[in-house]
């Protein structure tokens, strides 16, 4: 789990470094009507991570459970691929565009909460939590934390695409 947490921190720092220099107008502008803005992507990441934290805490409050062997073999890294298009569940769709500072602050708070939860519980206990992922199915808590990192990597790629599209659509 230490390796998973290091990867989680690396992608988080990379994503924050990408969005920090973006101006407020560019942060909230959609490259096309059907595409999310950077603000919406960051809000989505926060909503997903917040939901994961709540579900992990709920799992910790219950008796230990295990997922089957085949379920433990599902690679959470598949989530990082932008080739597979997956529609986000409505509960984690961004409803309001937050200002840049608030969006980043919410996202940072969620990451701090997840890191603290991981530090206080440890991998053995996380292996005894079952998380129902809408795409991956039943995965354990360690795989859930891994999913968060790969999900963030996926959306970092999306943010880079959005920024390229915005740059290409700006009149010179």
CATH 1.20.120.450 fits 2-19+36-167, yes or no: yes
pTM: predicted TM-score of the whole model, two decimal places: 0.89
Helix (H), strand (E), coil (C) string for 86-146: CCCCHHHCCCCCCCHHHHHHHHHHHHHHHHHHHHHHHHHHHCCCEEEECCCEEEEHHHHHH
Domain ranges of the chain: 2-19+36-167
pLDDT in tens, the chain (172 residues): 788 889 999 999 999 999 999 999 999 999 998 899 999 999 999 999 999 999 999 998 888 777 766 555 566 677 777 767 777 777 788 887 789 999 999 999 999 999 999 999 888 898 888 888 887 888 888 989 999 999 999 999 999 999 999 888 765 5
CA 132/CA 101 separation, integer angstroms: 31
């Amino acid at each position: 789990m230490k390796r998973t947490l290091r990867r989680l921190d690396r992608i988080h720092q990379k994503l924050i470094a990408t969005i920090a220099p973006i101006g407020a107008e560019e942060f909230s502008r959609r490259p096309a009507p059907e595409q999310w803005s950077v603000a919406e992507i960051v809000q989505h990441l926060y909503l997903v991570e917040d939901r994961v934290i709540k579900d992990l805490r709920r799992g910790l409050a219950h008796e230990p459970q295990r997922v089957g062997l085949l379920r433990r073999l599902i690679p959470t890294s598949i989530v990082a691929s932008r080739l597979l298009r997956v529609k986000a569940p409505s509960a984690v769709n961004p409803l309001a565009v937050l200002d840049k500072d608030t969006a980043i602050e919410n996202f940072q708070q969620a990451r701090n909460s997840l890191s603290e939860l991981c530090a206080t519980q440890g991998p053995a206990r996380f292996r005894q939590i079952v998380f129902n992922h809408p795409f991956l199915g039943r995965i354990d808590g360690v795989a859930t934390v891994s999913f968060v990192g790969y999900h963030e990597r996926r959306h970092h790629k999306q943010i880079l695409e959005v920024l390229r599209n915005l740059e290409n659509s700006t009149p010179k």
